[in-house]
Amino acid sequence: FFLSLKLEKKTKGKLQKQICQVVLDHFEKQYTAELGDAWSSVRDVLTSPWCWQHALLLNRFSQCPGLESSLAEQGYHPAFPAALPYLPAAFRCYIRRTPGRFPAEKHQPGKLKGYYLLNAASLLPVLALEVKDGEDVLDLCAAPGGKSVAILQCACPGHFHCNEYDDLRSRWLEQTIESFIPDALINLIMVSKLDGRQIGDLQPEFYDKVLVDAPCSNDRSWLFSADPQQAVLRLMQRKELSSLQFQLLSSAIKALRPGGSLVYSTCTLSKAENSDVINLILSSCRNVMPVDISEMARGVSQEFTFLGGTQRHELLVLPEKGRAWGPMYVAKLKKMSST
């Protein structure tokens, strides 16, 4: 026990040193104004990596005998209740209330991994998208690939297009797909490195479902920027992100068939990158309607804490101790028929 306490102190000291003060100061000002009283408990979680939690998304394409019973012995339980409006039987995710990380599996060419470690909140955009077998699906900003893998745990799309503009991240995406998806299915997947802002013009009205997991200010990782100068640069460029997000969303709407739906998500608390972007799209695109996702939010409210006062078509997961998931913003829109 004393050894683990000592280790925890050592880890705390190590991690404490790495918090980037310039980012924390910036967040302090912005999020106190935007989140009010909720910010202090969120800040406590974001600045304390030893209380972060990890979920396991099981891979339906890989048999791991005994994995589920072993997880149950270690206090893990299914993350999503069967009562959700959309929860395919093959979609299995395990979490536990206590922090700590299940060992990651190494990449082995030719061998599929049994599970994907992730922040459980990042599965909410996938569940909100409600992909059905045979649909044409676009994951517009797909790296590192966790959401693409999760979509394939839910359904078998007719055509699945995973796009990642950044070269390094695109290679990471390809490796993720190789690690989780059997060759027979990989043939259904097209991985591209296009500028997401152009896909709508290149493939107008081609997709039934589009996921826009947009580049954003990643609150968790930005707080631990090792290089203060890079952090200052990031904070200066932060103002330009909402314009990029708006352009990506506009492109996604063009790529959608009439009647198709899209989900927009980020891993930031920032209002400018979340509801402001969605409100701008809703006011500037007359053929787009918000879709109510409050039933899904109610269904998972035991495991996730949400910011109050949001619209019915959006949710914002706030990390708190014991439920350290998020930040994750999710909004759902539908493209109306052109008539």
143 marked among binding-site residues: yes
111 marked among binding-site residues: no
Could you give the CA distance from residue 97 to residue 95 in angstroms, rounded to a whole number? 7
Q: Is 308 annotated as a binding residue?
A: no
Of the candidates 162, 216, 267, 285, the residue annotated as catalytic is 267
Bin 326: left if φ > 0, else alpha if -120 < ψ < 50, else beta: left
Q: Has 145 been labeled as part of a binding site?
A: yes
Asked if residue 200 belongs to a known ligand binding site, the reply is no
d(CA 116, CA 92): 11
Cα distance between residue 165 and residue 147, in whole Å = 16
Whether residue 6 is annotated as binding a ligand: the answer is: no
User: 141 a known binding residue?
Assistant: yes
Q: What are 106's two structure tokens?
A: 């190494």
Say how far residue 188 (Cα) sits from the centre of its chain.
23
User: In 3-state terms, what secondary structure has residue 192?
Assistant: strand
Residue of 326, 330, 329, 331 whose CA lies nearest to 118: 326
Residue 8: how many CA atoms within 13 Å on its side-chain side? 10
Q: Is 146 annotated as a binding residue?
A: yes
Q: Is 85 annotated as a binding residue?
A: no
Active-site residue 267, yes or no? yes
For the annotated catalytic residues, the residue numbers are 267
**Residues of each annotated binding site for S-adenosyl-L-methionine:** 141-147, 164, 195, 213
**Residues of each annotated binding site:** 141-147, 164, 195, 213
